[in-house]
Amino acid sequence: MKVEIVSEKENPLLKRKEVQFRVDHDQTGSTPPRLEIRNAIATTLKVTNDLVFIKKFTTKTGTSIAFGIANVYDSAEQSKLIEPDYIVKRHLPPPEKTKEEPKAETAKPATVEEKDKPKEQPKEEKK
């Protein structure tokens, strides 16, 4: 996976850099996960990965090239003030799955006879 910074714009009002990037992912085949790209951008820009937030990331159909937009903040406090919660949640590591015991079946499966039996409908009284 190769990350290339296409353009970089400084936004002093929001204390961040707005970066457009290109990812060439011939070796992996499929689109790499967001967290891998975040780490690669952080390494390229020489910042910690908690300051990088990927806003948009798409792979062009039929190619192994993806384009995206990321925001790189000066501080973690500034990113907490500006970035919406749904973007922050996307950048959290996936939760570890714990092995749960299989649940015992509580409902009795319907038999063939019960399925085929027509349900009785209430009869109307004639006046």
For residues 74 and 39, give the distance between their C-alpha atoms in angstroms, rounded to a whole number: 16
Domain boundaries, the chain: 2-90
Phi, psi for residue 65 in degrees, rounded to 5: -125, 130
pLDDT at 30: 82
Q: For residues 33, 35, 37 and 42, what is the CA-based torsion angle, rounded to 10 degrees?
A: 180
Residue 105's pLDDT is what?
Answer: 57
For residue 127, the model assigns a pLDDT of 64
Half-sphere exposure of 87 (CA within 13 A, CB side): 18
Question: How confident is the prediction along the chain (127 residues), in pLDDT tens digits per residue?
Answer: 888 999 999 999 999 999 999 998 887 778 888 888 999 999 999 999 899 999 998 988 888 898 999 999 999 999 999 999 988 888 887 777 766 655 655 555 556 565 566 666 667 766 6
Superfamily of domain 2-90: RRM (RNA recognition motif) domain (3.30.70.330)
**pTM score > 0.75 for this model?**
no
Q: What is the CA radius of gyration of the chain?
A: 26
